[in-house]
């Protein structure tokens, strides 16, 4: 059995939906299909998810909700018309949206999750309806009935462990199952979403639950490339990554696959195949366990950069002699509900890198004050930081990779604020100012691939 996922660009209009249905029907093993909300039809278009967020904001602010609602309904209505599905499915979608808008929920974050989830949910109903209209044995799967239960973290949920046994029952069905991505339900019955792009995670969870032979993730590129094609012209295609390599790259801004999508399949050793909806015959890129990967031919497999980080530098003379001092620093983050991303350190200093979106100004102010109360000699904060990841299994056996990388930064006149390399030697993290992120990727790509 294969689990197959289609991203927003693959569902943007009727033409794309016909393509994905052709792909589904070309292989009888493709029985569980995860779909995203319709994406952009062209560069100036708006994704349905963003239209739904706008609708939620309009409801909250008392704006023109009728107009905001129609913008969403028109996208589905246009697709339904071009697929010759009639008006009933469109009315069903509109009724669903109106019902969500009228929900009396405790908080705005609950409300916006409920509305955002409508994008994928109605997309799945539309695709199932089309497959049925052409005579296929397809059905829409309700995530709640199937058992997709998530933590009660609105906009950033995690799958709950008991979901896997419930979802495993899907393998017993003999239909083509169309499953909406991106959301599930808390144990208390509330709609909760993964973070943005979370349909990838839905696919990974389902693949693990049914013990799929492969998880196929269809997007709009033939391969995963060594660097962002928007920054590098004709970048080097990479036919194979390991889980660890892709995890590092996804974490640092590779937009091909959600950074949390690999965790479920990693535990089961299920390969992931990134493929192109618009060129389905291309083999794409495989992501496999380390033990299945051949010896790398290049030291570096990929380069990625991401912005939106804050670095908190804590300095205390003789810190290395103070038992438990690092634990106290991390306990402050735990109290504030914040995870750190990296923690480069020296004998008298620790730098904590955290994502800006998780640390609003009031939290940051409290953290700094608590660190000062720990008798730190100094606590300073750097805003507008970026991390740049150089990733590749081949680095473990290659002398001089770090030297070449730092020379590339120097040649490009980019100041490196921090360097951090894990014990596995699969990646090197460089901290730079956000304004230098793009130039850093270009400099490293030119050094290792040109």
Cα distance between residue 253 and residue 228, in whole Å: 9
Which top CATH class is 302-448?
Answer: alpha beta
**Dihedral, CA atoms, 406, 407, 409, 412, nearest 10 degrees?**
180
pLDDT at residue 373, rounded to an integer: 96
Pick the CATH number of 2-290 from 3.30.499.10, 3.40.1160.10, 1.10.3720.10, 3.40.50.300: 3.40.1160.10
Q: What are the structural domain ranges in the chain?
A: 2-290, 302-448
| Contacts with 418 (C-beta within 8 Å, 6 or more apart), sequence order | 311, 342, 344, 351, 353, 429, 430, 431
pLDDT tens, residue by residue, 7-43: 999 999 999 999 999 999 999 999 999 999 999 999 9
Kindly state the DSSP code that residue 87 receives in the 8-state scheme: S
pLDDT at residue 109, rounded to an integer: 95
pLDDT at residue 81, rounded to an integer: 97
DSSP string, 314-373: EE-TTGGGSTTHHHHHHHHHHHTT---SB--B-SSEEEEEEEGGG--HHHHHHHHHHHHH
Contact 419, 411 (CB under 8 A): no
Residue 335, CA atoms < 13 Å, CB-side half-sphere: 12
| Contacts with 274 (C-beta within 8 Å, 6 or more apart), sequence order | 217, 219, 221, 223, 224, 256, 257, 284, 285, 286, 287
pLDDT at residue 254, rounded to an integer: 81
pLDDT at residue 295, rounded to an integer: 84
pLDDT tens, residue by residue, 106-164: 899 999 999 999 999 999 999 999 999 999 999 999 999 999 999 999 999 999 999 99
Question: Which residue pairs from 412-415 have beta carbons closer than 8 angstroms and sit at least 24 positions apart in sequence?
Answer: 412/439, 412/440, 412/442, 412/443, 414/439, 414/440, 414/443
Kindly state the DSSP code that residue 236 receives in the 8-state scheme: P
pLDDT at residue 279, rounded to an integer: 96
| Contacts with 328 (C-beta within 8 Å, 6 or more apart), sequence order | 374
Cα distance between residue 116 and residue 102, in whole Å: 14
Which residues of the chain have a pLDDT value below 50? none
pLDDT at residue 421, rounded to an integer: 85
Cα distance between residue 197 and residue 183, in whole Å: 10
Cα 129 vs. chain centroid, distance in angstroms?
28
Buried b (16+ CB within 10 A) or exposed e, 432-445: bbbebbbbbbbbbb
Q: What is the pTM of this model?
A: 0.89
């Amino acid at each position: 059995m294969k689990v197959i996922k289609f991203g927003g660009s693959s569902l943007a209009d009727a033409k794309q939906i016909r393509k994905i249905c052709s792909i589904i029907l070309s292989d009888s093993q493709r029985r569980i299909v995860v779909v995203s909300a319709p994406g952009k039809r062209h560069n100036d278009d708006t994704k349905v998810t963003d239209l739904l967020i706008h609708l939620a904001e309009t409801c909250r602010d008392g704006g023109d909700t009728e107009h905001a609602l129609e913008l969403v309904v028109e996208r589905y209505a246009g697709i339904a018309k071009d697929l010759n599905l009639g008006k009933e499915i469109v009315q069903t979608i509109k009724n669903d949206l109106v019902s969500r808008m009228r929900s009396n929920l405790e908080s705005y974050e609950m409300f916006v999750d409920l509305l955002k989830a409508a994008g994928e949910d109605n997309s799945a109903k539309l695709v199932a309806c089309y497959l049925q209209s052409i005579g296929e044995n397809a059905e829409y799967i309700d995530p709640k009935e199937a058992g997709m239960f998530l933590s009660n973290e609105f906009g950033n949920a995690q799958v709950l462990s008991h979901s896997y046994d419930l979802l495993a029952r899907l393998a017993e069905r003999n239909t083509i199952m169309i499953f909406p991505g991106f959301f599930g339900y808390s144990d208390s019955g509330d709609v909760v979403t993964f973070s943005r792009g979370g349909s990838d995670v839905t696919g990974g969870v389902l693949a693990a639950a049914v013990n799929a032979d492969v998880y196929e993730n269809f997007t709009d590129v033939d391969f995963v490339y060594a660097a962002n094609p928007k920054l590098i012209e004709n970048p080097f295609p990479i036919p194979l990554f390991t889980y660890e390599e892709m995890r590092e790259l996804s974490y640092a801004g590779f937009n091909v696959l959600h950074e949390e999508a690999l965790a479920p399949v990693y535990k089961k050793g299920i390969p992931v195949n990134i493929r192109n909806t618009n060129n389905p015959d291309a083999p794409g890129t495989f992501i496999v366990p380390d033990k299945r990967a051949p010896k790398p031919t290049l030291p570096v497999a990929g380069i990625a950069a991401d912005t939106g980080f804050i670095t908190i530098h804590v300095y205390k003379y003789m810190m290395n002699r103070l038992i438990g001092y690092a634990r106290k620093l991390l306990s402050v983050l735990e109290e504030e509900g914040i995870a750190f991303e990296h923690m480069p350190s020296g004998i008298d200093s620790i730098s904590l890198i955290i994502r800006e979106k998780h640390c609003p100004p009031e939290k940051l102010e409290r953290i700094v004050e608590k660190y000062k109360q720990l008798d730190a000699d100094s606590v300073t904060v750097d805003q507008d930081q970026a991390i740049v990841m150089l990733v590749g299994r081949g680095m473990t056996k290659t002398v001089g990779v770090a030297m070449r990388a730092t020379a590339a930064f120097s040649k490009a006149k980019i100041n490196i604020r921090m360097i951090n390399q894990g014990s596995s030697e699969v990646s090197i993290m460089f901290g730079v100012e956000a304004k230098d992120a793009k130039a850093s990727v270009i400099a490293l790509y030119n050094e290792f691939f040109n």
